[in-house]
Chain A
Amino acid sequence: MLGLLTSIMRVFEIPMAFLQRILGIKHLAWVFLAPNLILFFLFAFLPVFLNVVYALTGGDQILLRDRAFVGADNFAVLASCDNYLDPNTCQKDLFWRAVHNTGWFIVLQIGFMIGFSLLTALVLNRDIRARGFFRSVFFFPVLLSPVVVALIWKWILQRHGLMNAGLDAMGLEPVLWMLEREWTFFWSVFLSIWAHMGFYTLILLAGLQAIPRDVYEAALMDAATPFRTFSRITLPLLMPTMLVVMVLALIKGVQTFDEVYAFSGGGPGSATTLLIQYVYETGFAGAPRLFGLASAASIMLALVLVVLTGLQLWATRKNADG
């Protein structure tokens, strides 16, 4: 075996020695990085570059040679609005409805999800009975496919679904959960939290378990109340983990598409149309297929995401620096 390995190494020895002589020892690292860099270029940088190119062109053709250069027109069309708070005054009202929906979705989803995850992690961190079972129960929805999550909740919430059967059994009037805009939006946020909460709970639980026990023992000896212990010890020491959770939840929240699309199709009307669905429908499902507009919308979304992530990272560093 060793002999075989030595033989293989010898096969590479000659070309590597040759490359080292030509490039020098410092630049030889690029040779080793090349395979990864090529893959990265092909599957990450090139698509981003192409996306930018498409955003600067117009028409409904997919091949670049058939598309006209329109400069920043696609961005201008998307940004054309009298009042950004009222989508009806915007040229692309559906884009701005999607922006509003996504904004509210992120605020509510991240806020409630972190709150519930923290609460769950705190409970699961205590010495309760069947702790392992409950940890699995809360993590289980994370393992489900987004489409399965959407269908489960659709069956529960539809007109003749489980929820209305329950209300009916209690003698109450059924509620059209999936036909009222506000209710559908609420349930979209809810199912998203339900599906992802377990993942963030797990991270926060790891963060909680990393807090040294002796700090709590000292607080106990000082007769600190549970609330004071939580606000002065747990929360500050958990903050770096919380920031990681926030960044992850933000990125995941902005990218939300599949579960909400399968749940409500973006409706009723456009009540649950999120930005990624707008990009998908504009570029692929609609007619004509406006690849340029879809690319421009995705770039605007990416820029917002970069800014928000940057702000959070800055906050993390500031926090770490004390």
Chain B
Amino acid sequence: MKPTISKMKGALALGALAVSFGAVSTGASAQEVRFMCSSDGNECDTYREIFDKFEAANDDITVLIEDVPYKAILENLPIQLAAGTGPDIAKVTDLGGLSQYYLDLSPYVDGAYWDANFGATQPWYRKSADDAGIYGMHSQLTVTGPFVNLTLFEQAGVEVPGNDADWDTWAAAANQVAKATGVTYPMAMDRSGHRIAGPAISYGAQLFDDNGDAMLVDDAFTAYVEKFVSWHNDGTMARDVWGGSGGSSYQDAKAEFISGDLVYYFSGSWQIQKMSESIGDDFDWKVVGSPCGTGGCTGMPGGAGVVGFEQTEHPEAVAKVLDFLAQQDNYNYLTAKTLNIPAHAGVASAPVDYIDASPAASQALNAFAAQVAGISPIAIKYQGYKHNRAMFNITLQRVSQAIVGELTVEEAMERAKSDLAEAMAATE
């Protein structure tokens, strides 16, 4: 018997070895592409659906989605990229700030198609003005703007201001409504340097000097900050958002608006899906145009893009994945399912048939889409500026300090100027 068992063991060992080699060789032929993704709603799930189609057509490439919190994209991803341990693909919002790491897709994709459909947003991803590479697919165009609780206006018997109303008119109306209905907050704005930029530009802030260099603070910017701080002091703005946190932490007022405790909420188009889902039939709401100032009535553009990274071991596979996502049918599905404004010219040329969108969500999407044409060139430049995140953070820190009384507005603006000078020096 013994020799037989021995032979069996030998055969088993050989079999195991053969299976191992097989596994190794299969593993070596399949290319695994890691995609770091974060969701405001159902984005990552929708990407998965599209990648399932992609994998069915490309059995040698597997896309692995790492669903992470947005904070990880903001804070961990840059460190990983700097250390050379980043993913192959990621959904990013700091478009210019990470441009040094992007993979140029132009050798692998149809440049004419990408230029025709993403030409307007490509400069946001490029390293410099003379760079002509193709680096990312702008997956969702966002616009900042206000949400209004119509039911509260109706209950208060206050007329909703028109599209050309300025900030003071809205502040007065929101205060009237809050007083009449007894809700806690007349107005709120997300705690974000990006969010406050649109209103500041509407007040005439230039943000860049005549040479095109970052300046941030000028008289108009200061004037808006003064108004913004005074609204916090007199209770017009919800102090809990800007005054309730510190550092560079982001804070929104979505929960307050959804619970019907806020009249006027300045946020952006990415909130539509959540608003639609959570509010349901509880009350009527709608998106109105960005309030006006002396410099116009603009919001800030923005959004997220899907980019590949130069450090990937599979550049061709990465380009293939991105090119697949960028195809009109797939992009259209992504936009329709995630309730976003398309940045793809072909998709944007016709009305998007949004999937499962409530009437309020459809109105909101159309209202935001209508604002795209009126966005100030300064806002567009600011969004594409490589060091805009430094400017956002400085604004956030210093304006918050002025709101809680640690600094006067004048001191805060002086600090903002010196912070910006130091930040620019550090990046040189």
Question: B-contacting residues of A (Cβ < 8 Å)?
Answer: 58-63, 88, 93-94, 97, 158-160, 176, 178-179, 181, 264-273, 277, 281, 284-290
Contact = CB atoms under 8 A, between A and B. Distances in A.
B79 interface: yes
A179 B401 CA distance: 12
A265 B246 contact: yes
A11 to B, nearest CB: 25
A212 B407 CA distance: 57
Contacts, number: 105
Nearest to B245: A265
Contacts of B107: none
A271 B411 contact: no
Contacts of A93: 415
A178 to B, nearest CB: 6
Contacts of B397: 94, 270
A191 to B, nearest CB: 16
A176 B78 CA distance: 37
If over half of A's interface residues share one DSSP class (helix, strand or loop), that class is named, otherwise mixed; here it is loop
B97 to A, nearest CB: 7
A270 B403 CA distance: 11
Interface residues of B, number: 37
A113 to B, nearest CB: 23
A284 B79 contact: yes
B426 interface: yes
Given A62-B82, A88-B407, A287-B387, A269 B426 contact: no
Contact of A181 (B245, B251, B404): B404
Contacts of B404: 181, 267-269, 271
Interface stretch (B36-44, B206-214, B236-244): B236-244
Interface of B: 74-75, 78-79, 82-83, 94, 97, 184, 239-240, 243-249, 251, 387, 389-390, 392-393, 397, 400-401, 403-407, 411, 415, 423, 426-427
Given A267-B400, A268-B404, A269-B403, A277 B240 contact: no
Given A267-B404, A268-B243, A281-B247, A287 B423 contact: yes
Contacts of B94: 287
A18 B357 CA distance: 78
A288 B246 contact: no
Contacts of A289: 78-79
Contacts of B75: 284-285
Nearest to A176: B239
B401 A270 contact: yes
21 contacts: A63-B82, A93-B415, A94-B397, A179-B244, A264-B246, A265-B245, A266-B247, A267-B243, A267-B400, A268-B244, A268-B403, A269-B403, A270-B246, A270-B247, A270-B401, A271-B246, A271-B404, A288-B426, A289-B78, A289-B79, A290-B426
Contacts of B390: 286-288
B400 A268 contact: yes
B82 A285 contact: no
A8 B75 CA distance: 49
A97 B184 CA distance: 32
Contact of B423 (A273, A285, A288): A288
Nearest to B184: A159
